[in-house]
A = this chain, B = another copy of it.
Amino acid sequence: MATTDQTRMAVLGGLSIAPMTGYALREQIRDALGHFWAESFGQIYPALTALERDGLIERQAALRAGSSTFALTPLGTERLRELLAEAPQPVKPRNGVLLRLFFGRQLGQEACRKLVADTRATAEAELAGMCRIREELEADTGPDAPYILLTVLAGEHAARASLAWADEALGVLDGLASAAPPAANSAATPAREHS
């Protein structure tokens, strides 16, 4: 199997909003799902090929030579609902900022402050983006709009949490006696556990 069920779900789902080309689908996934989902370019086309082969999607009239618009077949809609009903697979988290802060003693206080400040700035931009999308969405009376709203609200809450955390974290860092990182040979001295 060249593509995974997860990718197929995203592709079928995208086409359930509206029929479109692979190129447009990629943009929709980037723009509309981008804050909680990613599909790389090299996965979308193989997925389309496989889904068409299985009769879950079909090509509609070509808008121009060499391109085609894909739409769900009834079988594809059925399969999408099956996939959506499956339990979400837990994702492996990999937060590079928190990893660096965890070992912040080695990184040094100032670099930690910078990491937190950068995270705060990113969250501020993210929050602004979410609020803008939400306004657009509130004018949208389509059947998908309330569900899409749920994902935007999640983005807003996450961004606000990130801001609040960053402010608290900067406070903690301010409270530390400013000390240089330990000398290399003292790195492993205090053999302590933190359960």
Contacts and interface: CB of A to CB of B under 8 A. Distances in A.
Interface of A: 6, 9-10, 13, 15-19, 31-33, 35-38, 71-72, 74, 77-78, 80-81, 84-85, 88-107, 111-112, 115-116, 133, 136-137, 140, 142-151, 153-154, 157-158, 160-162, 164-165, 168-169, 172-173, 175-176, 181-182, 184-185, 187-188, 190-195
Q: How many copies does the complex hold?
A: 2
Given A71-B188, A153-B172, A112 B160 contact: no
Given A72-B188, A160-B161, A96 B89 contact: yes
Contact of A98 (B137, B154, B173): B154
B106 A16 contact: yes
Given A18-B188, A169-B150, A194 B103 contact: no
A46 to B, nearest CB: 18
5 closest Cβ pairs, A-B complex: A88-B96, A104-B147, A161-B161, A36-B95, A13-B103
Nearest to A9: B99
Nearest to A38: B92
A33 B142 CA distance: 42
B35 A93 contact: yes
A27 to B, nearest CB: 9
Contacts of A172: 146, 149-150, 153
B136 A191 contact: no
